[in-house]
Structure formats: C-alpha cells, structure tokens
Amino acid sequence: MDDLIQDEKTDFENILSLLIKAFRDYKDRTLEKYKQITPDFNAFSTVDPLELQLSRLIGELLNPHGAHGQGSLFLDLFIKQFLQDKNIPGESSQASLELEHSLPDNSGRIDIFMHFGKSFRLAIENKPFARDQPSQIERYYEYMGKNYGSENFLILYFSPDGSDPSDFSMPKQDSHKLDKQLKSISYAELANWCGQCAAEAKKKKATRLSILIEEFSEYMNRTFLGRNTLKNKMLGEQLEEYVLEAYELNLLWQENREQYETRWQNKINQLINEKLPELVFKNLQTEGIIDDNWEWLRGDFDINKKSIRGFKLKKKNWKNFKLGLMSDRFERGKGKRSFFLALLSKINIERENYTADYYKSTGCNPEKDPTLKNPSTIWYGYFPDKDFQIWGYEQWKGIKEGGDTVIRVTDLFKKLIGACEADIDREEEKLQNP
C-alpha cells in the first residue's frame, strides 16, 4: 500500500478509527434518541491500524443494518447516485453486507460483498492505494458468473481517479466480458456521496454523525484529489454552532495521531520480529522441510532504524551459520522497507559455485557481490517478485495465519534450505570435528 505513513494518511487513519468507533458506540442506544444526538461518542480508537479501515467504513455506511442507525438511508443514496440504471432487485432495507468475502480455494477476497434479494450480488473492490493482484478482477468475474449467473451481479471498482482495472487484473482480450458487469467509481464521486450522506444525517438531527461523515468526505478530497474543501465550510454556520464540539474533536484527533504513530511502529516490529518467524517456522515444520532440530531466533528489526536487521532460523547444532530474513538499510519511502534472505556466517562454503546454485534454486536475481560485512553474510538475495521487493501496507497486513506475506517468505526459505542445508551440515561437521 503506497504512502502508508505520510502525514495526511496518518490523519486519515485516525479519522476512520474515530468514525468506526463512533458507529459502534451507537449500537446499544434507542433508535430515535441515537438518531437525534448520538450521545456517547468515544473518540479513542481500539481499531487495529493494520486493517483496511477505508473498506470497513464504506461498508459500514452501506450496511442498512449498520451501527450508524440510519437504516438504508446511505445505501439508498448510493444506489441513486451510482446504480439507478441497474434495476437492483429487492428492498434495500433487506440487503445484507459482508466484508472480505472469501473466494473458494483461497483465490482471493472481495472487499465488500452485498446480497440483494435471493439472486443479485454486488461485489466492491476497493483500490485506494494498493495495486491490482494478478487476474484479480477476472477471478471475481468468473466466481460471480458461475455462482449467480451472468445477469445477476455487478462489480464496482473504486479507484482514486475512477480508472478501470489494469490489464494485470483483467486481461485486455477478456475485458469485453465486463461491459455490463463492471462500473468504475472515483474517490471524487465517493466524496460527493459522503457529502450527501452527511446532509441527510443532519436532517435527521444526527449532528455529530453528520460532522464526522463530512470530515471523512474531506479527507477523501484531500488524500486522493489534493484539495481541502471542508476547511472553509467548517468556518461557517455549522462550525459556529458546534465550535466546542469541533475543537474537542480536533484535540482528540491530535492525541490519537501521536498514539497511532507509536502503536503502528510497535506493531510492525512485533510482526517482523515475532509473528512472522513463528508462522514461517510452523509452516516449514508442517510441510516437513524442517524438524525439531531447528529453531527460530527472535528478530531485532526496528522500523525506525536504517540497518540490516531481522530474524534467523538455524539448526540447533549449527554454531557458525544462520539463515535470516533481513531488512536492508536503504530509504524506500516513509513506512516502507525492503527485505532479503541471507546466509549469515564468517566462513565461506568451500563448494564451488554455491552462490550461483543458491540464486538458481531460489529464483533470486544474482547480486554482483553476494557478501556483506555487517552482519557477516556470504550470500543474500532479494525476493524475485517485483511486487514483493518493497514492503508496505499489503505486506504488513499479510503477516497472519495463511497470509500472503507468510506464504511467500515460507516458500523462499523452503527453497534456500533445500539448496544450502547439506552444504552447511558438511561445513559444520568439518569445523566441529576437525
């Protein structure tokens, strides 16, 4: 995910956390009172910053049974603006919504998935920052057509400028399939829809909810369109009437921003140093690549430091060699890092051409000099897939059971172990039993 830690993005995440928390706090209130004053809003967020909060918030607004308490009000506005010509069946108030709908065989997840009536389905793919995955929209199209029929579904594609999915996601020769089943929507249009939602919420006397949704609209304008439209609005009548509430929210946002930054850094470090090695080690054992004679060593990675750091795997009887996932020391953009696999040792493998063999076995691009001095490294290689050479939001999010990051790191370790284990065993035997 591009620009994860840019200042505006940090503010953006904070606003989303505030909104989602506000919606959830409303849930236990009586409908009429809660529509009028939304009384017990708590701005301190406990939402995991690594979740895709933008999709969650849009889904919350679209859900007629959502905690916002406005029924199908926001969904009806969405249908009127974007889907009026699609003859969506059934009552919108009876629609149901699912986040991260899983496709069979772990072939992907649809960000927002909606059921209208018994047969019609709406799939929403949200791409505010991340790039398309290989054949992603093509897989969604085939899944929807197979399960619901060619006329009973629609795919909405949200992108910053309203552009269609890339050829990487839907091959050009097959794009004609989606002439009637795909609609692209820009964030300018989504911001406009949120503005309408805010206006209608205000009419319902859900004043704070209205202000917060309008703030969300403003952050979309600022983040994706580079324009600040809310600032002048908020200096008008609405700000004058609710100046104390607005100022209080501003203070809470600033406090949340500082806490979010620290929380995010700690979370990333914990994922790389503990969670990732634990899951990779477990996968390698499950696949029979390693046994109980292996161990993993907690990492020393720090997202704030530009140095070669990471976690290690080794056999328990290896005294001179370790395998590591290490970060490099180069600037990759704020909040981003690159990682490589390394064979850490001060002693070379005596077998000829071992470095070339390791590059061939792993698929990593050969380095001109495969050695490093600090820490002592006799071979290293970056991930061969270009979309995995710089880690950002998508990679952090994939550090979980069955996550893409865990799968890819496991796979590369598996290839490296297969290539070098016998060599290291032989060297250790010579060193320990001369």
Euclidean distance between CA atoms 260 and 268, whole angstroms: 12
Question: Is the pTM for the entire model greater than 0.75?
Answer: no
Q: Are 36 and 205 spatial neighbours (Cβ–Cβ below 8 Å)?
A: yes
What is the amino acid identity at position 413? Answer: F
For CA atoms 306, 311, 312, 316, the dihedral sign is positive
- Nearest alpha carbon to residue 190 among 215, 155, 217, 219: 217
pLDDT digit string (tens) for 147-180? 888 788 999 999 888 888 877 777 665 667 777 7
Residue of higher predicted confidence among 9 and 390:
390
Q: With a cut of 60, say whether residue 231 has pLDDT above it.
A: no
Q: Are 337 and 303 spatial neighbours (Cβ–Cβ below 8 Å)?
A: yes
The full set of domain ranges for the chain reads 7-241, 264-432
pLDDT band at 254 (very low <50, low <70, confident <90, very high): low
Residue 378 tokens, joined: 């006799």
pLDDT band at 141 (very low <50, low <70, confident <90, very high): confident
Q: How high is the pLDDT of residue 51?
A: 38
Euclidean distance between CA atoms 258 and 83, whole angstroms: 40
Q: Are 403 and 397 spatial neighbours (Cβ–Cβ below 8 Å)?
A: yes
pLDDT digit string (tens) for 14-41? 555 655 555 454 444 434 444 443 433 3
Euclidean distance between CA atoms 141 and 97, whole angstroms: 19
- Nearest alpha carbon to residue 58 among 40, 74, 73: 74
- Residue 381, phi-psi category: left (phi > 0), alpha (psi -120 to 50), beta (remainder): beta
Residues 6+ apart with CB under 8 A from 326: 308, 309, 310, 339, 340, 341, 342, 375, 377, 380
